[in-house]
Chains A and B, each alone.
Chain A
Amino acid sequence: MLGFGNSPQEALAASLLVMMLVGIFASGLMRWRGLMRPTDLLMPAALLAAYWLVYNKVPAFPPVGAVNKLFYVIVIGTAVGFAVEIAAQRAVRVVAFLQPVAAAFYIGLPRLGVATWEVVAAATVGVAIMWLILRGMSARAEDDVKRGGVVAVLALGFAPIALLGASSSSFQLCLMFAAGCLGILLVHIVNPVFRFGGASSIGVLGGLISVAFTVVLITRKADPVAIAILGLCVVLPVFSEGICRMLGVSRQFPRLFVHVALAVLPAALAVAVAFLDYGSSFPA
């Protein structure tokens, strides 16, 4: 019999299972009811649920410290993103590209003047990630599932890098979020009715980029080589359509598989590099 909760690992595994099951249930319910637009809120809900499970709090406003700021970056990003999605869908990308700049300067505020270039570099990389994930693909549900999948892989790959970079909370946050995404997206693998819109772009992808800003700009221990390799998660899937055409893959699920697999490869490599660099010195 499994004794979940007997060790921290089991407690984490139990949380991941719960996140995935709740993701499947909520996503399945929306699909069953034929709700397309509200599915844009599923991934933000998963990220906020993960935040609450990890930190056990809703931070006071105005937030003090990067970890507390993060919560409001996600909440405000989700609210703004969903509002823009409803009011002016075409403006989502413009607002989404502004998010990493605003978040980098907000979270990296203490580094301004001391290492301004780091904040500017982080903002630039954040905009690039946002652009690479949102570019090209249409607003078709199939493409939105692909976007969601890449974001989940990005979170999954960043989790161990965050842990080895001294942020066990970010590790748990990213893992739980990824588990929630897995549950949400599993329901939409075939004939998807899913939207990765303003709330997901600005609240979730922007929020996840902000988690990275916290580790890179504030904790300042993340492995730069591993992060650079992880960045390929958003680059390689750009070639997925071409590869599918070359391989003669035309069906929906195999195309999704190729797209996500191209994100998984650099993520796995990034994790391996991080373990090689830091793994041996990590205190248990």
Chain B
Amino acid sequence: MKYRLAALLLSMTSLAEAVSPAWATKFDIDPVHSGIAFYIDHLGFSKVIGVAQEFSGAFDFDATKPEGSSLDVKVKVGSISTNNKQRDGDIQGADWFNATEFPEIIFVGKEFKKTSDTTGQITGDLTIAGVTKSTALDVKFNKEGQNPWDKSHVVGFSATTKVKRSDFGMKAALGMIGDDVDLVIQVEGREHQG
């Protein structure tokens, strides 16, 4: 009976480890030191740069066990800027991000893979304009430690990925404006307080 109980407790512990990152630290994305930028081709001459100015999110992370991480990010579509007021208004429309119907872009990490000591891949569901596609982020672990200024526990990553806007139903001006969108992400997470 004693052995059965021990085995049951052991299996429950393993299950808990498998489904939730019990020992991972919870971090909130620090928007002041994080950024999301995208690059999109314009007629082959240049890449227009856009940034998301308002986003939020949190993640669980343990450097010794990155596979057990979690990640949720939300980007406010209305905050996307391409350094041109007219165009910024245009991309909010039904042909593009359709901010009226879909005011947020959401990414939820599903699978976290370590590819080297400092790199990894996060595969998750990216939802833009109501369309959800599996998307993989190539992630570089930069540093984890104490911020010397305020002594907070901080971890930082850089990430890149490429998505096709047409996959998310955005097919306007495909001959002129590129289909491939390069995303560059810098994230600084501060340990969640409270």
Q: Which residues of A contact B (CB under 8 A)?
A: 8, 11, 54-57, 64-68, 110-111, 165-170, 214-215, 217-221, 281-283
B169 contacts A221, CB within 8 Å?
A: no
Identify the interface centre among A167, A170, A215, A219: most chain B CB within 10 Å of its CB.
A219
Instruction: Say yes or no: A219 contacts B101, CB within 8 Å.
Output: no
Using Cβ atoms and an 8 Å threshold, which residues of chain A touch B102?
65
Of B115-123, B142-150, B152-160, B170-178, the one with at least 4 CB within 8 A of chain A: B170-178
A113 to B49, CA, bound (A): 35
B86 touches A218 (CB 8 A): no
Tell me whether B171 and A218 are in contact (CB under 8 A).
no
A68 and B129 CA atoms in complex are apart in Å by 11
For the complex, is B92 an interface residue (Cβ under 8 Å from A)? yes
B176's partner among A8, A54, A165 (CB-CB below 8 A) is A8
- Contact indicator A65/B169 (Cβ below 8 Å): yes
Within the complex, the shortest CB–CB distance from A241 to chain B, in Å, comes to 38
Q: How far is the CB of B164 from chain A (nearest CB, A)?
A: 13
Question: In the complex, what residues of B have CB within 8 A of residue A165's CB?
Answer: 93
Given contacts A168-B173, A169-B171, A220-B100, A65 and B86 within 8 Å (CB-CB):
no
Given contacts A68-B169, A169-B172, A170-B95, is CB(A221)–CB(B131) below 8 Å? no
Q: Can you show 30 pairs from A to B with CB atoms below 8 A apart?
A: A8-B173, A55-B171, A57-B171, A64-B130, A65-B98, A65-B101, A65-B102, A65-B169, A66-B98, A67-B94, A67-B169, A111-B100, A166-B89, A166-B90, A166-B91, A166-B95, A168-B95, A170-B95, A214-B94, A215-B94, A217-B100, A218-B98, A219-B100, A220-B93, A220-B100, A221-B89, A282-B86, A283-B84, A283-B87, A283-B90
State how many angstroms separate the Cβ of B71 from the closest Cβ of chain A. 24
Give Cα distance in the complex from A118 to B176, angstroms: 33
Bound CA span A110–B91, Å: 18
Q: How far is the CB of B91 from chain A (nearest CB, A)?
A: 8
CB distance from B154 to the nearest CB of A (A): 38
The 3 closest A-B pairs by CB, nearest first: A219-B93, A166-B90, A64-B130
Say whether A167 contacts B95, CB under 8 Å: yes
Q: Give the distance in Å from the alpha carbon of A281 to the alpha carbon of B89 in the complex.
A: 11
Known contacts A8-B175, A55-B171, A68-B169; A169 and B95 CB within 8 A of each other: yes
Distance (whole angstroms) from the CB of A25 to the closest CB of chain B: 26
Interface residues of B: mostly helix, strand, loop or mixed?
A: loop
- CB pair A166–B93 under 8 Å, yes or no, is yes
A267 nearest CB across to chain B (Å): 22
List A contacts of B169 (CB < 8 A). 65, 67-68
Apart from A8-B176, A218-B94, what are 6 other A-B pairs with CB-CB below 8 Å?
Answer: A64-B130, A166-B90, A166-B95, A168-B172, A219-B92, A219-B94
Q: B86–A283 contact, CB under 8 A?
A: yes
Residues in B whose Cβ lies below 8 Å from that of A8: 173, 175-176
Q: How far is the CB of B89 from chain A (nearest CB, A)?
A: 6
Task: Please report the C-alpha to C-alpha distance between residue A80 and residue B166 in the assembled complex, in whole angstroms.
Answer: 31
In the complex the two chains form, what is the Cα distance from A116 to B91 in whole Å? 24
Given contacts A65-B101, A111-B100, A220-B100, contact A167 B131 (CB under 8 A): no
> Chain A residues near B91 (CB, 8 Å)?
166
The residues of A that contact B171 with a CB separation of less than 8 Å are: 54-57, 169
Interchain CA distance A55-B98 in the complex, whole Å: 15
Question: From B91, which residue of chain A is reached at the shortest CB distance?
Answer: A166
> Which A residues are CB-close (under 8 A) to B131?
64
Instruction: Give the chain B neighbours of A110 by CB distance below 8 A.
Output: 100-101
Q: How far is the CA of A8 from the CA of B173 in the complex (A)?
A: 9
- Rounded to whole angstroms, the CA-CA distance of A41 and B100 in the bound complex is 33
Q: Which B residues are in CB contact (< 8 Å) with A166?
A: 89-93, 95
Name the residue of chain B whose CB is nearest to the CB of A7.
Answer: B175
Smallest CB–CB gap between A70 and chain B, Å?
9
A111 contacts which chain B residues (CB < 8 A)?
A: 100
- In the complex formed, the residue of B with least CB distance to A68 is B169
If the complex has contacts A55-B171, A110-B100, A220-B100, are A65 and B89 also in contact, measured as CB distance less than 8 A?
no
Question: What is the CB-to-nearest-CB distance from B110 to chain A, in angstroms, rounded to a whole number?
Answer: 21
Residue of B nearest to A70 (CB): B94
Task: Tell me how far the C-beta of A48 lies from the nearest C-beta in chain B, rounded to whole angstroms.
Answer: 16
Q: Whole-angstrom distance from the CB of B161 to the nearest CB of chain A?
A: 23
A219 to B95, CA, bound (A): 8
